[in-house]
Amino acid sequence: VQLQASGGGLVQAGESLRLSCTAPGRTVLSNTLAWFRQAPGKEREFVAAIARSGGEYYQDSVEGRFTITRDLSKNTLYLQMNSLKPEDTAVYYCAGSPRIYTRRSSYYQSTSYNSWGQGTQVTVSS
């Protein structure tokens, strides 16, 4: 299922952005949904995930600043990003998996997801 991410932009450090992810024509109710990001010259890294049960998982560097949610009525996944830092600059991707994972580490691995969005650019200036 192709996902569509949006909401990126150029902001100053300390400001906020909210990213959205939808699956046009399909429900986004994958059992597991996540956000990853990739900065220039770096590998794609895990940012946050939300399980079917509602459990949330975060990378340490965004814990307390980012919040992942999903709105079933709007068929949309969100990533609320507050107190943005220049090091948050990256292309952000949403991802989905039909599987339910029991091991925490599974949420952090890009190989656990089989549906991906096209990415949305987030740039944070200092």
pLDDT at residue 27 tops 80? no
Q: How many Å apart are CA 60 and CA 24, to the nearest integer? A: 31
Residue whose pair of structure tokens reads 């906020």 in the numeric block: 16
pLDDT of residue 26: 66
Is 65 in a helix, a strand, or coil?
coil
β-pairing, 9-12 with 120-125? parallel
Q: Where are the alpha helices (DSSP H) in 25-116?
A: 104-108
Q: What angle do CA 83, 32, 101 make, to 5 degrees?
A: 115
- DSSP assigned state of 6: E
pLDDT digits (tens, 9 = 90+) for 55-79: 999 999 999 999 999 987 888 899 9
β-pairing, 4-6 with 56-58? unpaired
Distance of CA 76 to the CA centre of its chain: 12
β-pairing, 4-6 with 9-12? unpaired
Q: How many Å apart are CA 23 and CA 70, to the nearest integer? A: 12
pLDDT digits (tens, 9 = 90+) for 80-102: 999 999 999 999 999 999 888 98
